[in-house]
Structure 1
Amino acid sequence: MSESWTYVCTTAELLPGEMKVVFDEVTQAPIAVFNLDGSLYALEDRCSHEDFELSAGHFDAAEGSVECVLHGARFDIRDGRALCAPAYEPVAKFPIRSADGMIFTRDDREDC
């Protein structure tokens, strides 16, 4: 588990309806950070159906979901749960911290 927070960007650089990808400084896990109407969420940037970048797909800010471009699996960005086939397993959700106009995240899984 990574104890160190990874800098994502400033709050001004991630506007509502946008996403940004970073790599955890310790585990190198790809993390997609989403701004959903001013609330920030972070998910592992990997589809649970097939190991592919979720960030390559469409972030639907109206629905709060991201769709994998490879096979169309969709995930709720708030909790990582799979919303439709072919994915049935959730994607990992990570903590977000915002301080002094900066956004941070980290891979907090026990077994990476």
Structure 2
Amino acid sequence: MSAERACALSELETDTPLRVEVGGKPVAVVLDSAGEVHAIGDTCTHGDVSLSEGFVDGDTLECWAHGSAFSLRTGHPLNLPAFEPVPVYVVEIDGDDVLIDPTRTKEV
């Protein structure tokens, strides 16, 4: 599978997660305050809730339900109660398009 258009870059608000579906997978897309676009699995590994409803702080996304924070770069949880990582997808920018391949995760 190749990269699919997930959203427009202009749709992203700084430090505000956007939930999209790519290849049938829920993904949280985040434009961080440094201008980098991240794409991580949108489902918290602790509580099976949407991470895109959470809070961005630097390069972390905190689950709104139980407070686990996940690294936007590695997908690893930074605190309990989550202890399993979420996938982090490779992001490509083509003009105003944010492209994600849901079969291709970052090596961390």
Q: TM-score, normalised by structure 1?
A: 0.82
Is residue 24–residue 106 contact of structure 1 (8 Å, CA) maintained in 2?
yes
Aligned residues: 104
Secondary structure in 2 matching 1:12:
helix
Counterpart of 1:23 (choices 1, 16, 21) is 21
Is residue 9–residue 104 contact of structure 1 (8 Å, CA) maintained in 2?
yes
For structure 2, which runs of at least 5 residues remain unmatched after alignment?
none
Structure 1 stretches of 4+ moved >4 Å? none
Counterpart of 1:68 (choices 44, 56, 63) is 63
CA change 1:46–1:81 in 2 (3 A) is same
Counterpart of 1:51 (choices 44, 48, 51) is 48
Give 1:109 shift: 5.6
Whose strand fraction is larger, Structure 1's or Structure 2's? 2
Q: Distance in 2 between matches of 1:9 and 1:32?
A: 11
For structure 1, which runs of at least 5 residues remain unmatched after alignment?
none
RMSD of Structure 2 on Structure 1 (CA): 1.7
Over the matched positions of the two proteins, sequence identity in percent amounts to: 31
Secondary structure in 1 matching 2:102:
coil
Q: Distance in 1 between matches of 2:85 and 2:71?
A: 9
Q: TM-score, normalised by structure 2?
A: 0.85
